[in-house]
Amino acid sequence: MKILVCIKQVPDMESKFKLNGEGNWYDGTDLAWRMNEYDEYAVEQAVQLKDQLGDADLTVLSIGPERVKEMMKKALAMGCDRGAHIADDDFFKKDPFEIASVVAEFAKDKGFDLIFTGMQSQDRGSGQVGVLVAEMLGLPSITTIVDFAFDNGQITAKRELEGGMKAIVKTRTPALMTCQLGLNTPRYPTLPNIMKAKKKELLSIPVSELLKVEAKQETAKMYFPEKKGGGLVLEGSVGDLVDQLIKILKDKTAVLA
Amino acid sequence: MKTLLVAEYRDGKVLNSTYELVAFAEKLGADSAMFLVGSDSTLPAYTGTLYLADVGKYSEFNPAVHKQLLLDVIAREQPDMVVFAHSSYGWDLAPRISLALNAAHISEVVDIVDGVPIVPVCNAKLRRAVKAKTAQMVLSLQGGAFGLENEPSGSPTVIPIDTDTAAQVEFCGYEEAEAGGVDLSKAGVIVSAGRGIGKPENLAMVEALAKALKGEYGASRPVVDSNWADHGRQVGTTGQTVSPKLYVACGISGAIQHLAGMKKSEFIVAINTDKDAPIGEVADVLVVTDLKEFVPALTEKLKNL
Ligand SMILES: Cc1cc2nc3c(=O)[nH]c(=O)nc-3n(C[C@H](O)[C@H](O)[C@H](O)COP(=O)(O)OP(=O)(O)OC[C@H]3O[C@@H](n4cnc5c(N)ncnc54)[C@H](O)[C@@H]3O)c2cc1C
Ligand SMILES: Cc1cc2nc3c(=O)[nH]c(=O)nc-3n(C[C@H](O)[C@H](O)[C@H](O)COP(=O)(O)OP(=O)(O)OC[C@H]3O[C@@H](n4cnc5c(N)ncnc54)[C@H](O)[C@@H]3O)c2cc1C
């Protein structure tokens, strides 16, 4: 069984964001980077499947600059067997269609039985890349899965719907799954596994070898939303804040009456 | 400008998100037609042409088949825009359509300014104006972004459609959301815990504050996913929708999917260490502080009032 997992590196969402010089993206300096949360579930599901089968070969792929290798090492320490780093310093200028084309071009003649992606990224979150990869490769795909079971080529997954309802869906490999939050409990890499991961294969491939299409959309501009509503922002010592808030609750709501 | 609106149907009903698509077309001043895999016994309240495929034959979830049905209608209608709700149905189907059409797909659209779609970036801390480089466009709209001005009305002119495409996946039915012990929608005060509580033991302080305010405690999704709280406590698109007199968000960033479940609350207080957290956009009061100190201090003071 050959499995591919696609992971994206995203900034910590609690960062203080600034715009870049061109005003079309955020400035990448001074940001802390991490694995897209949704992709942690994708990696974990792939590793669990490998544990279940006993025998599987697990490739983790990421498109991005040199820094994404740190995150890929985490995926290797979680249990992936090899890494394919698609080196691209301009990755953020690519639209989901280009990103998906690069993944599909990489995957097309490698015979993956299963591909796992996140359902969306935390920074842009278009939720397109997984489905596009599947369509480009002519594979069935199931999106937003919160439960996954595999038995002899048969996949039974639960898709999460609005309100917490789930749809039970079956298909057969080869197939692609996009993973939703809560699918499993992603493991923390152990120290011995972090050491082992250092020896695993981590190939770099220039993106120019795999990119054969052009973007279908571009950023016109990026900006900070206007603060609407004019809510009050309180700062200061805890004691003062407590008193201020209680006064506001007394004045503006009936809950303390 | 001509739009094709992709209506949504689940569990025997046309979903309300369908009417947000109609509101969007009206806002643009665009002509519209509608596509639905549904039933002629439960038609949407809509004036215009409705291309209707029978859900009994094609199932509520069947991507490869719905894709072909929709592509056939697009070939007939030649719309400038194909519009979906950015929902579990829309984000599944829209990329399949955009690829087949070779058209740009812009997702999570929250606004249109001078004809250019606006999308959120980085947990809605930033916005991005996106230009399509293709003549035809596929859009998926963030829920609640295009509200209804009027109660939906009208009855459509139905054109039945069919296909003989083979399915790739088998839909085996629904599983209801886990029934929770509490109906949060009835609570007058809700104090919710987010990932910012840091560890499960800290849920107790949020619960204590809820009690001091004679309310219930709620939670954001990561708190539920980590099994720190039951799903019955979750507020948001995949949990409950609430509108209490007072909603207190403790250590919750304010992701779109959480806001969708609580932004209609009468008064909103957010407690967050990050002054720029997007919850600030809906909060009446944002208290910038560490909840681990502030919440117990507030609870004590309230008890002694
Ligand atoms: C500031 C800013 C500026 C941008 N400018 C542009 C622009 O000019 N034009 C434009 O079209 N787009 C632009 N983007 C969007 C951007 O680069 C997208 O992140 C990219 O197109 C992938 O889409 P997504 O993150 O929405 O993927 P989604 O479809 O939300 O991701 C789903 C899954 O796909 C996989 N995946 C996504 N990206 C990667 C990756 N790099 N490597 C491996 N797997 C991956 C992961 O499994 C992920 O969970 C910009 C984004 C930002 C934040
Ligand atoms: C299809 C879909 C459906 C979803 N449905 C839901 C849903 O129903 N409900 C839901 O909640 N989410 C839902 N989500 C997830 C949502 O996108 C966010 O991931 C989630 O809401 C984030 O939860 P959070 O705010 O608790 O955590 P985070 O985003 O991690 O935010 C934590 C916050 O705590 C603050 N903080 C940290 N430490 C402290 C401290 N000591 N004191 C005070 N503040 C602190 C931080 O500044 C930050 O703002 C859904 C996502 C998808 C894709």
Environment class of residue B28 by beta-carbon count within 10 Å: exposed (0-12), middle (13-18) or buried (19+)?
A: middle
**A119 within 8 A of A160, measured Cβ to Cβ:** no
| Residue range A78-129, pLDDT digits in tens | 999 999 999 999 877 899 999 999 999 999 999 999 999 999 999 989 999 9
- Counting atoms of ligand 1 from 1, which one is nearest the CA of A123? 53
Does pLDDT of B157 surpass 70?
Answer: yes
Q: What's the domain count of chain A?
A: 1
Q: How confident is the model at residue A15 (pLDDT cuts 50, 70, 90)?
A: confident
Task: Tell me which residue of B113, B118, B145, B114 sits closest to B129, measured CA to CA.
Answer: B118
A76 confidence band (pLDDT: 50, 70, 90): very high
- Indicate whether B188 and B232 sit together in one domain: yes
Percent of chain A with pLDDT over 90: 85
Residue B173 lies in a domain: no
Structural domain of residue A117, as residue ranges?
2-209
Q: Are A36 and A9 in contact (CB under 8 A)?
A: yes
Output the CA torsion sign for B68, B72, B73, B75: positive
Residue A130 lies in a domain: yes
Beta carbons of B217 and B190 less than 8 angstroms apart: yes
Cα(A96) to ligand 1 centroid in Å equals 5
Distance from Cα B223 to the centre of ligand 2, integer Å = 8
Cα B58 to Cα B39: distance, rounded to the nearest angstrom = 11
| Segment B197-204 mean pLDDT | 97
Kindly state whether residues B44 and B122 are assigned to the same domain: yes
Residue ranges lining ligand 2, Cβ < 6 Å: A 14, 120, 181; B 194-196, 220-222, 234-239, 251-253, 255, 257-258, 261, 271-274, 277, 290-292
| Burial (Cβ within 10 Å: 0-12, 13-18, ≥19) of residue A205 | middle
Q: Helix (H, G, I), strand (E, B), or coil: what is residue B168? A: coil
3-state DSSP: chain B helix, strand, coil percent, rounded to 5?
Answer: 30, 30, 40
Out of B60, B103, B276, whose CB is closest to A216? B103
Chain B closest CA to A81's CA: distance in Å? 27
Whole-number Å distance between alpha carbons of A89 and B271: 38
Largest interatomic CA distance in chain B: 71
- Which ligand sits nearest to residue A27's alpha carbon? 1
CA of A121 to the centre of ligand 1 (A): 7
Distance CA B172, CA B199 (A): 37
Q: pLDDT at position B119, please?
A: 95
Of B168, B237, B267, the CB nearest to A253: B267
Within-domain flag for A34: yes
CATH of the domain at B115: 3.40.50.620
User: How big is the CA angle at B278 (ends B276 and B279), to the nearest 5 degrees?
Assistant: 110
Q: Residue A71: inside a domain, yes or no? A: yes
Give the DSSP letter of residue B200: G
Q: Calculate how far, in angstroms, residue B158's C-alpha sits from the geometric centre of ligand 1.
A: 39
Residues B153, B211: one domain?
no
Confidence band of A234 (pLDDT split at 50, 70, 90) = very high
Residue type, A33: W
Through-space distance between the first and last CA atoms of chain B, rounded to whole angstroms: 61
Q: Is the dihedral of CA A153, B99, B7, B43 positive or negative?
A: negative
Select the residue of A26, A168, A223 nearest B173 (Cβ to Cβ): A168
Mean per-residue pLDDT for A211-225?
92
Q: In CATH, what number is assigned to the domain containing residue B253? A: 3.40.50.1220
Given pLDDT bands bounded at 50, 70 and 90, which one contains residue A228? low
Q: Within 13 Å and on the Cβ side, how many CA atoms surround B157?
A: 4
For residue A37, the ligand 2 atom closest to its alpha carbon is 19
Domain that holds residue B37: 2-160
Question: How many CA atoms, within 13 angstroms, populate the side-chain half-sphere of residue B304?
Answer: 8
- What residue's CA is closest to ligand 1, atom 5? A93
**Would you say residue A219 lies in a domain?**
no
CB distance B198 to B292 below 8 Å: yes
Substitution candidate for ligand 1 out of A17, A92, A132 with most atoms within 8 A of CB: A92
B134 and B10 within one domain? yes
pTM for the whole thing?
0.93
Q: What is the pLDDT of residues B215-266, one digit of tens each?
A: 999 999 999 999 999 999 999 999 999 999 999 999 999 999 999 999 999 9
Q: Whose CA is nearest to atom 26 of ligand 2?
A: B194
The average confidence (pLDDT) of chain B is 95
Range list of β-strands (E), chain B: 2-6, 9-10, 13-14, 31-38, 49-54, 81-85, 104-109, 111-113, 116-121, 126-132, 137-141, 157-160, 170-175, 189-193, 216-219, 246-250, 267-272, 285-288
Quick check: is B166 in a domain?
A: no
Distance A91 CA to ligand 1 centre (A): 8
Q: For residues A68 and A10, give the distance between their C-alpha atoms in angstroms, rounded to a whole number.
A: 9
To test the contact with chain A by mutation, choose from B11, B91, B131 the residue with the greatest count of A C-beta atoms within 10 A, namely: B91
Clarify whether residues B263 and B120 are in a common domain: no
My answer on whether B282 and B135 are in the same domain is: no
Please report residues of A whose CB lies closer than 8 A to that of B129.
219-223
Pocket perturbation via mutation, ligand 1, pick of A45, A99, A117 by most ligand atoms within 8 A of CB: A99
Residue B144 covered by a domain: yes
What pLDDT, on a 0 to 100 scale, did the predictor assign at position A92? 75
Query: Can you read off the two tokens belonging to residue A134?
Result: 């599947």
Burial class (CB in 10 A: 0-12, 13-18, 19+), A249: buried
Q: Report the pLDDT value the prediction gives residue A14, as an integer from 0 to 100.
A: 86
At residue B188 the predicted structure's pLDDT band, cuts being 50, 70 and 90, is: very high
Tell me the C-alpha to C-alpha distance, in Å, between residue A103 and each of A60, A107, B8, B130, B199: 11, 6, 30, 23, 37
Domain of residue A102, CATH code? 3.40.50.620
Q: What tens digit of pLDDT does each residue of B11-38 get? A: 999 999 999 999 999 999 999 999 999 9
**What's the average model confidence in pLDDT over B72-80?**
98
- Separation of alpha carbons B223 and B236, rounded Å: 12
Q: What is the largest CA-CA distance in chain A?
A: 69
Show residues of chain A in contact with B231, CB under 8 Å: 164
What's the whole-number average pLDDT of chain A? Answer: 95
Residue B180 has pLDDT above 70, yes or no: no
Contact with chain B for residue A249, Cβ under 8 A: yes
Q: Which member of B172, B213, B286 has the closest CB to residue A255?
A: B213
Of ligand 2's atoms, which has the minimum distance to the CA of residue B88? 1
For residues B156 and B10, membership in a common domain is answered with yes
Place of tokens 């695993």: A200
- Spatial separation of the C-alpha atoms in residues A170 and A165, rounded to whole Å: 17
Q: What pLDDT is recorded for position A90?
A: 84
With respect to residue B175, please indicate whether it lies within any of the assigned structural domains.
no
B117 → chain A, closest CA residue: A220
Task: Determine, yes or no, domain membership for A122.
Answer: yes
Number of the ligand 1 atom closest to the C-alpha atom of A120 = 30
In this structure, are residues B39 and B56 in contact, taking their beta carbons and an 8 Å threshold? yes
In a domain, B178, yes or no: no
Average pLDDT over residues B175-198: 90
Cα angle A114, A117, A118 (rounded to 5 degrees) comes to 150
Is residue A137, in this structure, part of any structural domain at all?
yes
Please indicate, yes or no, if residue A146 is contained in any of the structural domains. yes
Position A229 confidence tier, pLDDT thresholds 50, 70, 90: low
Q: Does A199 touch chain B (CB under 8 A)?
A: no
- Which A residues, 79 through 118, put their C-beta within 8 Å of a C-beta on chain B? 95-97
Chain A segment 24-53 residues within 8 A of B by beta carbon are 26
Number of domains in chain B: 2
In-domain check, residue B279: yes
